[in-house]
């Protein structure tokens, strides 16, 4: 089922809109659903207008994301289409969501994904689908990771395993994916689920235990993505540093990265969702030194004060985290680094906040996400004592957010005068406007880490690249001349690898 981004000519009454909320992992899951529906004759759209049924791939991570999902479902229902809730929030709450949201015609589980066409057909026929009772999906797979491969469990983003036997060579298997959004960048899902037990996180309970995709399957999908014009692969999962442990090879990611980078047409591979406690020296070296792999470290620190980390059921400290960053920068001095942090976790003290401030000040991160703590259903943290008062959480959040913005802007300024490799994402060739070319340097992941605007150099400058000649997917070397917050402004000086022209 190799599928491109061209909509099928489906019969009337079979128009489906797929609306995706949340993270890049959800985007990959939506493209699996799209492939199944496309193969069965559905006409696909990302706009609710004109659709007969709207599938909302919901996010269930934190309260704001859940509210966004509800709002999207209600807005789609107001348009007159039948509305179906899928994704993380639907999986997490099941029948409870169905009972509280009568506007939704159905609430689907991950177990419904292999039969998504039949489920939507039933919805259009006016049939009532009984929503599932939520369960801990970790219990569906063996505790031992290497025993999980032969289990018949629906895992979003791993749909090919439900169609062909694992013994079939990867290059002969269908790529169960239909791109909903074009462009030179695409996510590639390494694995699903998580075996960690962070006390603040509910994701493992509804996403399930950790399951890797095999290297040959990933390489085959990378080749297919490249054939659709993709130039950068962003590797996503709940925990990329666990990749391969259920395949019997804890160094699998270190081996896979160079192979992906060697894929014809791919100029950059970016790993994301790295756990500091599992980021081994060998992996640091591969990310920092392999041609075609972005020297970029998306590390899930969450905090740096040891007492808070222990209550989070995590490991590390300010000094250990700084040592990890230093080891990467010793190999790649300009390596990018980003992380997220939770402030106001139960038991957090002023001393803990001071320790986190010390870390942020010394870490020189390119991008920092700050989140204010809130209790999540079903998590251990929700039951902890020593809750930080809401007003205090807000003050700490505002202070850390302001500090983070200042520090990241300073880090961007440090790059003025340096050379960066920029992948062009978009070109605004409007004749009535100045030429606008936007891309991302190696330390800038899509959507979350800022961007680089390419501008013209002075007339006659040696080695200059004409902006008008640039196209999405081009990889150019550029010199940073200015910054705007975390964003860079740079002058292209050399074409490294041009994208194929139509």
- Residue numbers in the known binding site for [4Fe-4S] cluster are 23, 59, 88, 194, 198, 201
- The answer to whether the beta carbons of residues 416 and 481 sit under 8 Å apart is yes
- The answer to whether the beta carbons of residues 371 and 344 sit under 8 Å apart is no
| Burial class (CB within 10 angstroms; exposed 0-12, middle 13-18, buried 19+) of 2 | middle
Residue ranges of the binding site: 23, 59, 88, 194, 198, 201
Distance (Å, whole) CA 357 – CA 381: 23
**Dihedral over alpha carbons 216, 151, 198, 447 (to 10 degrees):** 40
Distance (Å, whole) CA 27 – CA 24: 5
State the number of CA atoms in the 13 A half-sphere of 141 facing the CB: 28
Distance (Å, whole) CA 295 – CA 475: 15
DSSP 148: -
- The answer to whether the beta carbons of residues 184 and 164 sit under 8 Å apart is no
CB atoms within 10 A of CB 285: 15
Distance (Å, whole) CA 470 – CA 184: 13
Q: How many helices (H) and strands (E) does the chain have?
A: 12, 18
DSSP 259: H
- The answer to whether the beta carbons of residues 453 and 431 sit under 8 Å apart is no
Distances in Å between the Cα of 93 and the Cα atoms of 53, 159, 350, 381 are 21, 23, 36, 19
Structure-token pair, residue 50? 């004109």
Q: Tokens 């995709």 appear where?
A: 213
Distance (Å, whole) CA 481 – CA 328: 25
- The answer to whether the beta carbons of residues 36 and 116 sit under 8 Å apart is yes
Distance (Å, whole) CA 193 – CA 248: 17
User: Would you give the end-to-end CA distance of the chain in angstroms?
Assistant: 25
Distances in Å between the Cα of 184 and the Cα atoms of 1, 86, 221, 441, 499 are 22, 27, 15, 14, 9
Q: Which residues of 33-70 are buried (b: 16+ CB within 10 A; e: fewer)?
A: bbbbbbeeebbbbeebeebbbbbbbbbbbbeebbebbb
Structure-token pair, residue 132? 């599932």
């Amino acid at each position: 089922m190799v599928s491109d981004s061209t909509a099928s000519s489906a019969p009337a009454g079979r128009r489906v809109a797929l609306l995706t909320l949340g993270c890049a992992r959800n985007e990959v899951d939506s493209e699996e659903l799209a492939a199944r529906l496309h193969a069965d004759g559905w006409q696909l759209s990302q706009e609710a207008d004109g659709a007969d049924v709207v599938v909302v791939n919901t996010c269930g991570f934190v309260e704001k994301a859940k509210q966004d999902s509800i709002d999207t479902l209600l807005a789609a229902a107001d348009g007159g289409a039948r509305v179906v809730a899928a994704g993380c929030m639907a999986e997490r709450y099941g029948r409870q969501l169905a009972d509280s949201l009568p506007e939704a015609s159905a609430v689907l589980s991950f177990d419904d994904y292999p039969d998504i066409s039949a489920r939507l057909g039933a919805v259009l026929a006016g049939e009532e689908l009984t929503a599932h009772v939520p369960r801990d999906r970790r219990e569906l797979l063996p505790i031992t990771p290497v025993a999980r491969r032969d289990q018949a469990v629906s895992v979003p983003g791993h749909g090919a395993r439900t169609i062909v036997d694992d013994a079939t060579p990867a290059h002969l298997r269908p790529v169960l994916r239909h791109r909903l959004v074009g462009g030179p960048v695409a996510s590639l899902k390494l694995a699903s689920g998580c075996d960690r037990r962070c006390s603040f996180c509910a994701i493992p309970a509804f996403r399930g235990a950790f399951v890797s995709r095999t290297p040959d399957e990933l390489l085959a999908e990378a080749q297919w993505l490249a054939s659709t014009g993709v130039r950068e692969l962003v590797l996503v999962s709940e925990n990329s540093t666990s990749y391969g442990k259920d395949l019997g090879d804890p160094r699998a990611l270190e081996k896979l990265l160079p192979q992906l980078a060697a894929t014809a047409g791919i100029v950059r591979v970016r790993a994301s969702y790295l756990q500091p406690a599992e980021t081994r020296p060998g992996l640091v070296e591969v990310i920092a030194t392999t041609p075609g792999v972005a020297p970029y470290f998306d590390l899930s620190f969450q905090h740096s004060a040891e007492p808070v980390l222990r209550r989070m059921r995590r490991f590390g400290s300010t000094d250990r985290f700084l040592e990890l960053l230093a080891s990467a920068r010793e190999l790649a001095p300009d390596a990018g680094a980003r992380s997220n942090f939770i402030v106001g976790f139960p038991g957090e003290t002023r001393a803990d906040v001071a320790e986190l401030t010390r870390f942020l000040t010394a870490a020189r991160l390119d991008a920092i996400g700050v989140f204010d703590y809130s209790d999540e259903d079903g998590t251990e943290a929700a039951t902890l004592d020593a809750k930080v008062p809401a007003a205090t959480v807000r003050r700490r959040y505002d202070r850390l957010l302001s500090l983070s913005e200042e520090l990241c802007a300073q880090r961007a300024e440090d790059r003025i005068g340096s050379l960066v490799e920029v992948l062009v994402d978009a070109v605004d060739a409007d004749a009535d406007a100045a030429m606008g070319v936007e891309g991302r340097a190696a330390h800038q992941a899509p959507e979350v880490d800022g961007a680089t605007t390419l501008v013209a150099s002075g007339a006659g400058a040696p080695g200059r690249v004409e902006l008008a000649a640039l196209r999405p997917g081009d990889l150019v070397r550029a010199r940073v001349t200015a910054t705007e917050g975390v964003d860079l402004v740079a002058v292209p000086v050399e074409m490294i690898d041009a994208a194929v022209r139509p």
